Chain A
């Protein structure tokens, strides 16, 4: 989520991870490797309270995600309470198991927009990545979204095996009448880090994709195409989440309050909405305050003129690669540990990957 100006409120966006369950097994899933469905997952009533508290903190938007949120039978109730709290409700789904009737029910409950993922531009390769046959179901669902005149975002995670088909993906988004196409280069967190050697693209692939995107953007208004070069191929890190615990708040299926999807894997103390209000978890949990502002920074970030632009990069990536969550993100070429990234980038590709399991 981007804002035109600096935020003047505590939270802009709530990421509500409604479940870890998912019928897909994508090898780049950003969920933690050691996850399990907590029996004590938040109930719809709990979520209703979280939405009200998020709105009170200033949130204007909620991403209903997971896992696969449409595996929850009470999703209609959840959407209704989010819309009732005044939040813009954006569903992030694989397009299954939900069907057309389910979508209409969500629309009637106050759903405002839908993101559908595909794994590639055609069935065989898309299904191979998803680890299950689902491509035609996804397309049918995406058409239902537009048939109900809901805004459609098509999302594709890009990697070595599909990056050469960016033009076909843009054509698919046009054919589906998508409003936006997110061409999201793999970020190496969670399962993606475990499968990094099989997913890592070449620089040539990325440069060609960037050229195709530039050509297609020049062609016509729709869809809006989002594409940024991945941090492994740039000299500077990404401004992860717009800064740690600054504008986005993530609530996990079991109620933990995090600054991003990956932070659960860091050795930090986060709190849960089961025990406290969302506001307390957001403002006061030690983990949330660990990397707010700039006081925690080490060199070279501490004296870097770009520190307020990229916030030192991604804390989870620093922890996963360097072993120190307060280190400069090694994706930055100024990091003394940048070789960890450049070596992985230039390593010979692996052929197989591990599918996500629960």
Chain B
């Protein structure tokens, strides 16, 4: 069942859609909803983290056991932020019905007398992958980039109104099939993780579509003006960025870039040129600054951290560093070594 039908039964149930031709106002409203939903889905298609290189490798079976464990350990921090974020959303609503529905999400993650919650299921995944439960739960090993991305999500929801907060949760729209694919990928490629460890993915394949249905119905019913709709799409884009940054943190954290053996860096007045066999890559002064820090000892995280200190005025400096390192790796300029962290 689609979110469109959910809206028909739920939020706009007061209009009887079976009673002949809709009035022009209703038709306009239906049109507006369809457009908004299409925009939201397009954002997910283009920016959801299913396209992130790390996720593509994870689902393609190309991650090493250490990489899978790093992802599990770090992603747990995100899991712990979800009930806190949902608690913030609850405080924004005056509607008992809304709160009664939304509070179920907190129980889904924290568990209750009747069932085991998502946080516990994630720790079981960690154990099945050979990690120590207490170590993961302590959050001590969480990479700084991952921590920042997850904290940014909580801060974002704290600042937004109810509508934009709910809109930011609509990544759930893509999560159902995505998690089914993930469970299948783990069964196929990472057989060293026992089936019992996959219970989180399995439980979310049914929870996520239900959450998404409710969330999208709320957003479509309440984003009435073009400005509201733009705030909703912007909120979803921001959430996609946060999930993407989380995986950047997992992908790059703990890896130390260095100039590739084949590469020769020439310093020039307007930046630098990296020369490789049959290839030359021009880098800007800031690119040269990043390359100078890539010494094979500093992790990408600490390179990004150093750049942040040098350029506090640039709000996207860490993302720029990750993008630059990724591009330079693709061009053969940088090689990445595991630091074992």
A90 touches B280 (CB 8 A): no
Report the Cα distance A63→B270, complex, angstroms.
25
A115 touches B277 (CB 8 A): yes
Report the Cα distance A90→B276, complex, angstroms.
9
B262 touches A61 (CB 8 A): no
B residues 228-287 touching A (CB-CB < 8 Å) = 261-262, 264, 266, 270, 273, 275-282
Query: In the complex, what's the smallest C-beta–C-beta distance from A33 to chain B, in angstroms?
Result: 26
A12 within 8 A of B: yes
A272 within 8 A of B: no
Contacts of A63 in B (CB 8 A): 278
A residues 174-226 touching B (CB-CB < 8 Å) = 179-180, 218-220, 224
Contacts of B270 in A (CB 8 A): 8
Supposing A149-B261, A179-B262 touch, asked if A3 and B277 sit within 8 A by C-beta, the answer is no
Report the Cα distance A2→B281, complex, angstroms.
8
Contacts of B273 in A (CB 8 A): 60
A residues 95-130 touching B (CB-CB < 8 Å) = 112-113, 115
A271 within 8 A of B: no
Report the Cα distance A60→B280, complex, angstroms.
8
A3 touches B261 (CB 8 A): no
B280 touches A1 (CB 8 A): yes
- Considering the complex, give the chain A residue whose CB is closest to the CB of B278: A1
Contacts of A5 in B (CB 8 A): 282
Contacts of B278 in A (CB 8 A): 1, 13, 61, 63, 90, 115, 153
- Considering the complex, give the chain B residue whose CB is closest to the CB of A247: B280
A113 touches B277 (CB 8 A): yes
- Considering the complex, give the chain B residue whose CB is closest to the CB of A60: B275
B277 touches A219 (CB 8 A): no
Contacts of A8 in B (CB 8 A): 270, 282
Query: In the complex, what's the smallest C-beta–C-beta distance from B282 to chain A, in angstroms?
Result: 5
Report the Cα distance A2→B278, complex, angstroms.
7
A40 within 8 A of B: no
Report the Cα distance A2→B276, complex, angstroms.
10
Report the Cα distance A180→B273, complex, angstroms.
20
Query: In the complex, what's the smallest C-beta–C-beta distance from A64 to chain B, in angstroms?
Result: 12
Query: In the complex, what's the smallest C-beta–C-beta distance from A259 to chain B, in angstroms?
Result: 17
A residues 1-47 touching B (CB-CB < 8 Å) = 1-5, 8, 12-13
B332 within 8 A of A: yes
Between A61, A86, A153, the greatest number of chain B beta carbons within 10 A of the residue's beta carbon is seen for A61
A288-325 CB contact bits vs B (8 Å, 1 = yes)?
00000000000000000000000000000000000000
A262 within 8 A of B: no
- Considering the complex, give the chain A residue whose CB is closest to the CB of B277: A113
Query: In the complex, what's the smallest C-beta–C-beta distance from A26 to chain B, in angstroms?
Result: 20
Partner of B332, one of A86, A88, A112, A179: A179
Contacts of A180 in B (CB 8 A): 277, 332
A349 within 8 A of B: no
A279 within 8 A of B: no
A residues 45-83 touching B (CB-CB < 8 Å) = 60-61, 63
Supposing A1-B278, A180-B277 touch, asked if A60 and B266 sit within 8 A by C-beta, the answer is yes
Partner of A224, one of B261, B266, B280, B332: B332
B92 within 8 A of A: no
B331 within 8 A of A: yes
Contacts of A149 in B (CB 8 A): 261
Between B264, B275, B276, B278, the greatest number of chain A beta carbons within 10 A of the residue's beta carbon is seen for B278
A2 touches B266 (CB 8 A): no
B332 touches A3 (CB 8 A): no
Contacts of B266 in A (CB 8 A): 60, 86
Query: In the complex, what's the smallest C-beta–C-beta distance from A75 to chain B, in angstroms?
Result: 18
Report the Cα distance A1→B277, complex, angstroms.
8
B280 touches A61 (CB 8 A): yes
Contacts of A220 in B (CB 8 A): 62
Supposing A218-B60, A219-B62, A224-B332 touch, asked if A2 and B279 sit within 8 A by C-beta, the answer is yes
Between B275, B277, B331, the greatest number of chain A beta carbons within 10 A of the residue's beta carbon is seen for B277
Report the Cα distance A276→B177, complex, angstroms.
68
B262 touches A3 (CB 8 A): no
A136-162 CB contact bits vs B (8 Å, 1 = yes)?
000000000000010101000000000
Query: In the complex, what's the smallest C-beta–C-beta distance from A51 to chain B, in angstroms?
Result: 14
B275 touches A88 (CB 8 A): yes
Report the Cα distance A71→B270, complex, angstroms.
40
A61 touches B275 (CB 8 A): yes
Report the Cα distance A179→B264, complex, angstroms.
15
Between A5, A63, A88, A180, the greatest number of chain B beta carbons within 10 A of the residue's beta carbon is seen for A88
Supposing A60-B273, A88-B275 touch, asked if A151 and B281 sit within 8 A by C-beta, the answer is no
Report the Cα distance A219→B61, complex, angstroms.
10
Contacts of B264 in A (CB 8 A): 88, 112
Query: In the complex, what's the smallest C-beta–C-beta distance from B62 to chain A, in angstroms?
Result: 7
Contacts of A179 in B (CB 8 A): 262, 277, 332
Instruction: A1-B278, A86-B266, A113-B276 are known; give 5 further A-B pairs, CB within 8 A.
Output: A4-B281, A60-B275, A61-B280, A218-B62, A224-B332
Q: Identify the B interface with A (CB < 8 A).
A: 60, 62, 261-262, 264, 266, 270, 273, 275-282, 331-332
24 A-B contact pairs sorted by A residue (CB < 8 Å): A1-B278, A2-B279, A2-B280, A3-B280, A3-B282, A4-B281, A4-B282, A13-B278, A13-B280, A60-B273, A61-B275, A61-B278, A61-B280, A90-B278, A112-B262, A113-B262, A151-B261, A151-B276, A153-B278, A179-B262, A179-B277, A218-B60, A218-B62, A220-B62
